[in-house]
Amino acid sequence: MSSLQAFFAQNVEKSTVKDVIVSTRFKGEDGQPIKWKVAPVTADEDAAYRKSATKRVPLPGKKNVYQPETDYDLYVLKLTAACVKFPDLHNVDLQNSYGVMGAENLLKKMLLPGEYAELTKVIQEVNNFDVSMDDLVEEAKN
């Protein structure tokens, strides 16, 4: 295979779904914590979540001049909700059980702050936000 062919869509290693225990509070019939399933999003999807969390704010002292400002917390919430594949955060019955509408609101309601922080950390990892370019170069050398 030529080195260019390694970049063809059919030859790229597919992203896998990762199982992770987000909380010990959600237990299965066997009494063991239930694993959540998370998977990465594409760069296009990520850009859409970032854009939906960005608004234009006026520059002080400049009439009709605006600059984009991203609400990072909202962006991370949208990205996290999109990456969770199980449990189905879009399930109406699950949302109703917490008295909320929407996957993002459900996440905020069902998880404790530390659990949410751990989940967002995992989401950063599956989307490769935790890997620096130096780490990638070092891995390629080995």
- Would you kindly state where each structural domain of the chain is located, as residue ranges? 5-128
**Residue 142 reports pLDDT greater than 60:** no
Residue-wise pLDDT for 51-63, tens only, equals 999 999 998 888 8
What is the enclosing helix (H) or strand (E) of 81?
helix 72-83
Classify 69 in phi/psi space as left (phi over 0), alpha (psi -120 to 50) or beta: beta
Report the pLDDT value the prediction gives residue 119, as an integer from 0 to 100.
97
Average pLDDT, the chain: 91
The DSSP code sequence of 47-67 is: HHHHHHTEEEEEPTT-TT-EE
**Residue 138 reports pLDDT greater than 80:** no
Looking at CATH, the fold of the domain delimited by 5-128 is given as rbstp2171 (3.30.2220)
**Residue 95 reports pLDDT greater than 70:** yes
In this prediction, residues 79-100 reach a mean pLDDT of 98
**Residue 82 reports pLDDT greater than 90:** yes
Tell me the residue length of the chain: 142
From the centroid of its chain, how far is CA 136? Answer: 21
